[in-house]
Amino acid sequence: MHGLEMESFNHKLNLYIDSWMGPRDPRVRGWLLLDHYIPTFSLTLLYLLIVWTGPRYMKNRQPLSYRGVMVAYNLGLTLLSFYMFYELVTGVLQGGYSFFCQDTRSGGSADDKIINVLWWYYFSKLIEFMDTFFFILRKNNHQITFLHVFHHATMLNIWWFVMNWVPCGHSYFGACLNSFIHVLMYSYYGLSAIPSMRPYLWWKKYITQGQLIQFVLTVIQTTCAVVWPCGFPNGWLYFQISYMVTLIILFLNFYVKTYKKQDPSQRKEYQNGMASPVNGHSNGMASSDSVKHRKPRAD
Where are the extended beta strands (E) located within 80-182? Answer: none
Backbone angles phi, psi at 171, to 5 degrees: -70, -10
How big, in percent rounded to 5, are the helix, strand and coil portions of the chain?
70, 0, 25
Cα(245)–Cα(240) distance, integer angstroms = 9
As a whole number of angstroms, the distance between CA 240 and CA 235 comes to 9
293 annotated active-site: no
What is the distance between the alpha carbons of residues 299 and 284, in angstroms, rounded to a whole number? 14
Cα–Cα distance, 88 to 157 (Å, whole number): 21
* Rounded Cα gap, residues 247 and 174, in angstroms: 13
For residue 297, the cross-strand partners are 280
Of the residues 151, 152, 182, 281, only one is catalytic, namely 151
Element holding 110 (H helix, E strand): helix 109-127
| Positions marked catalytic | 151
